[in-house]
Structure 1
Amino acid sequence: MIAVCSIMSIGFIFIQFFSDSPAQLFVGQLVNGCIIAFYPICASAYVGEVTPLVLRGFAASMTNLAFSIGSLIASGILKGTEPLETVMSYKIPIATQWALPCIMLFLVYFCPDPPYWLCRKGRYDEALVSLRRLTTPTVDVTHKLAHIRETLKLEESFQGNRPHYLECFRGPNLRRLLICVMAYSMQAFTGNIFFISYAVHFMELAGLDAADAFSMNLGLTAIGFVGTCISWFLLSYIGRRTMYLFGCTALALLLFAIGAVDLAPRNNSSSAVVWAQCALMLGCTFVYDLSLGPFCYVLLAEVSSARLRGFTIALATVSCFVWSVVFAVVIPYAMNEDEGDWRGKMGFFFAGTSALCAVYCFFWLPETRGRTFEELDVLFERRVPSRRFARYRVDIVDASRGGMANETPACSA
């Protein structure tokens, strides 16, 4: 799938580069954007299936790091091409897009197929070979293969044999789907389109000239990169639910502050207001890339079941992209002076939605840190309340026999 998407991306970037009208450029960007949507779906599903438990959170967060690195590179390219007054000012950024699909097309064939996928197809010998490529020689991969087969057998006993999209909307799978949808969609609800995608536009509306706005955007993406790297050290010690609660709450406060600062009267000495808002946007980016950004992809890999992981992540991605499109259209109209003229007052709106997201996290977001896929299957199948996930002890042997599990303190889980 990654190889096919890479080939298609290379082709549609040609349409963008050689376009001679806005319509051609739009079509090239639209189709290529649809193809790009497959990458995080494949990445989250692949990471969840090939990484061991101890590395699962770290590896899943690399998806957000990739976004941060891409934004950082793009900001540098846009900063460098901003002074150009020829068509190359936009053709150079478009041409640089060819680099990544070409690199992926070269490297993808060195990646082993996911053992879970091979086992679902009944190709156990190939799964064993794949596991050997994913582990050191001293590890007995037959135990891991048995564990994968047992996990899939347990899910089949709960849900049946042939997975399909409708199955995502039934029983415990519907709950898992809704959690993944909300975990992903909260990226849009907490305003990442506002303080990341439209950062340059907002800063220019606030009063910065184009050069300073692009410089601030470069700093913004660098801070996001640092935040994602710091999150690696938190993944093993702080739960996913805790970081989501922190992220939504902190973003609600920072976004409210952006709106409050915008209420200050505008005069000749309003540069302090402008820089205060820019600083708060930097703070929003840091908090987002420390919490919701990387932890979202960890939750997608952990909450979805092994049988329906690709389907669940795909539906969650589509839902997030729909909200992103809505906000991407609405925000410029709301901010621009000749339309809504909200400018920084958009912070009040996203502060409210972020607060609602924090409420959702408190009541309905489960803690998945340190759980195997087997344990998570049992927890969802027994409809354990989300707030009790961290304290619930699962005996896999009893679970496979239909027995009961006990609720214990977190230290015993």
Structure 2
Amino acid sequence: MPRMFPWTIYMVMIFGSLSSAGFGFDQGWWGGIMSSKQFIHTFGSYRPDQQAWALSSKQQSVGTGVGYAGVILGVICGTPINERFGRKMTLLMQAVIVSVGVIIESTTRSSYAQFVVGKGIVYFGGGIATNAIPVYQGECAPPSVRGLMAGTYNAFLMIGGFAASLIVYLCRHVSSDWAWRVVIVAQIGIPILGWLGLPFLPESPHWLIRHGRPEQAAKSLRRLRGPSFPVEEEVVALQQLLADEQERQNATSWADCVSTRVNLRRTIIAVGVQAFQQGQGISFVANYQAVFLQQIGFKEVLLISMIVYIIGVVANILSMATSDRMGRRTVLLWSSMVLGACMLTIGGLTCRGTAHMTYPMQIAAVVMLMLWFLVFQLTWGPLAWVITSEVPPSQVREKMVTLSGFSAYGTGLIIVFVNPYTQGAIGGGVGFIYGALSLIALVFVFFFVPELRNRSLDQIDEMFEARLPTRDFASYVCGDIRDGQAEKRPEVEEEYVERVP
């Protein structure tokens, strides 16, 4: 077990992840508000075929898809910002961007276009955070708690989503448009909290070293590891690592992410886990669960949405406590099977439409949806971000994280644009599609995703450079331990990482 770390580590863990809560908040209220009669009466239209007011499939696609397009643009722009200005300044800039988007969203009266533009700007800030947070936390985290720290990104997504769904639920009986406007205005509290926490966060030691500021890197490391940590030795090790990278002339372009077999393998892993995280159905569940529940005849859709996010928060907390004990690979393999079974069951229960569904079948479908969400948030939800924080090599870390984020939200963008039309055509049959993708994800993990639990970033580099088969990573003994150099390398000291047997 690792010792207690300085309070700065916990500040990085909490405030470093706070920006993701804004993204989760936006997803949380959007999924619920699409079933809010006040919102629909403001922006929707009367549908004679449904004998009710509703948003059109086009409005659903545009409202959700523009947000995801904003995320993708933010991920792309986040790389040069992150590389040039550092992790802290990047988080500050994205908080300002999110605030601007919230103001635009909340001040619209009846213009759906203005609403969508504001939403896209909020998601643009979320995309920048998607680039900055995994890089920042991966570089600041001691190896023995990297899973815990990286998992906070997804945990705060759920916390933000729960807060938003709770506000939507509590305001459901408000007769005016403040039923939906309140939750948008409340969202600005998240960047404000981020501004308050930033002065207490250290800059990434890796970024400081790469920009020729070793003295500041030493101060940052001392804050992150404590006064007894051999800071000078770690700074020398990081400087040597940087010198080796420059000697090999790495990190010169985006092509370096795929220019060697080793980097190509790491890119495939980082990009693949993010694509399959989205592809198994989280974009559908997060954005269209309320519409889905209405389609199968369920009434208390806002209550169910709130319960789903409570499940997500609890699951992420459990995952943060266990990810560094249980690892990554085995958990992802087993969870893919469970996720696939849940979605296939949902498809089987609902594919024939409301007319053929009994009340027990509705309950069974809701239970399967909740079980799916619980398992996803225990496993794929946080672990994809853990893997994204540890797989990329330092010389192309920002670029590879950007590619991973592009993969995640590019996949999500396709789903949120297509899903309303697909769901309108085949109803709950969309569960068959997501269930099949879970089975494909299982195959991907088996052949590509190694076990990296409790490894330092240098040890991960060594194992990839050794070109180990995927299944051999867990049992491999790194050179610094084999050669008896553990005392000379702070990353593998007993108090920071469990020794490899």
1:331-354 Cα deviation digits (max 9, x unpaired):
111112xxx1x2221111111111
* Aligned twin of 2:454: 370
TM-score using structure 2 length: 0.75
* Aligned twin of 1:352: 436
* Aligned twin of 1:81: 171
**What does 1:100-119 correspond to in 2, within 5 Å?**
100-119=190-209
Shift of 1:263: 4.8
Is residue 2:235 matched to residue 1:145? yes
* Aligned twin of 1:47: 137
Is residue 2:337 matched to residue 1:249? yes
Shift of 1:61: 0.3
Q: Which runs of 4+ in 1 moved over 6 A?
A: none
Shift of 1:217: 0.8
Shift of 1:151: 3.6
CA separation in 2, counterparts of 1:6 and 1:223? 27
* Aligned AA (2:378): L
- Percent identical pairs in the alignment equals 25
* Aligned twin of 2:95: 6
Is residue 2:69 matched to residue 1:69? no
CA separation in 2, counterparts of 1:67 and 1:316? 17
**What does 1:220-231 correspond to in 2, within 5 Å?**
220-231=308-319
Is residue 2:112 matched to residue 1:19? no
SS at match of 1:191: helix
SS at match of 1:134: helix
CA contact (8 A) 2:144 2:455 kept: no
Match of 1:311 among 395, 399, 402: 399
Shift of 1:140: 2.7
* Aligned twin of 1:408: none
SS at match of 2:454: coil
* Aligned AA (1:287): V
**Aligned pair in 2 of structure 1 residues 137, 358: CA closer, same or farther (>3 Å)?**
same
CA contact (8 A) 2:353 2:428 kept: no
SS at match of 1:139: coil
Shift of 1:163: 4.1
CA contact (8 A) 1:223 1:285 kept: yes
Shift of 1:398: 9.3
**Aligned pair in 2 of structure 1 residues 256, 269: CA closer, same or farther (>3 Å)?**
closer
CA separation in 2, counterparts of 1:311 and 1:93? 34
Shift of 1:369: 0.9
CA separation in 2, counterparts of 1:310 and 1:216? 38
CA contact (8 A) 1:128 1:141 kept: yes
* Aligned twin of 1:200: 290
SS at match of 1:198: helix
Shift of 1:372: 1.5
TM-score using structure 1 length: 0.91
* Aligned twin of 1:403: none
Is residue 2:417 matched to residue 1:329? yes
CA separation in 2, counterparts of 1:280 and 1:76? 22
SS at match of 2:326: coil
Is residue 2:204 matched to residue 1:126? no
Shift of 1:280: 0.5
Shift of 1:196: 2.7
What is the RMSD of the two structures over their aligned residues, measured on CA atoms?
Answer: 2.0
* Aligned AA (2:185): A
* Aligned AA (1:250): V
1:152-180 Cα deviation digits (max 9, x unpaired):
345445x4254432211211222211111
* Aligned AA (1:373): L
Shift of 1:251: 0.3
Shift of 1:139: 2.4
CA separation in 2, counterparts of 1:272 and 1:148? 60
CA contact (8 A) 1:154 1:374 kept: no
**Aligned pair in 2 of structure 1 residues 45, 94: CA closer, same or farther (>3 Å)?**
same
**What does 1:153-192 correspond to in 2, within 5 Å?**
153-156=243-246, 159-171=248-260, 172-192=262-282
* Range with greater deviation from structure 2 (353-362 or 385-394): 385-394
* Aligned twin of 2:364: 276
* Range with greater deviation from structure 2 (77-86 or 313-322): 77-86
CA contact (8 A) 2:345 2:368 kept: yes
Shift of 1:266: 5.1
* Aligned AA (1:333): Y
**Aligned pair in 2 of structure 1 residues 232, 384: CA closer, same or farther (>3 Å)?**
same
Shift of 1:313: 0.8
5+ long unaligned stretches in structure 2: 1-89, 484-498
CA separation in 2, counterparts of 1:279 and 1:154? 53
**Aligned pair in 2 of structure 1 residues 379, 156: CA closer, same or farther (>3 Å)?**
farther
CA separation in 2, counterparts of 1:412 and 1:75? 43
CA contact (8 A) 2:297 2:354 kept: no
1:15-66 Cα deviation digits (max 9, x unpaired):
1111231111111111221121111221110100111111111000000100
CA separation in 2, counterparts of 1:301 and 1:151? 18
> How many residues end up aligned between the 2 structures?
395
5+ long unaligned stretches in structure 1: 400-410
Shift of 1:396: 4.1
Shift of 1:148: 2.5
* Aligned twin of 2:306: 218
SS at match of 2:452: coil
CA separation in 2, counterparts of 1:264 and 1:23? 35
Shift of 1:218: 0.6
Is residue 2:384 matched to residue 1:296? yes
**Aligned pair in 2 of structure 1 residues 188, 58: CA closer, same or farther (>3 Å)?**
same
**Aligned pair in 2 of structure 1 residues 243, 156: CA closer, same or farther (>3 Å)?**
farther
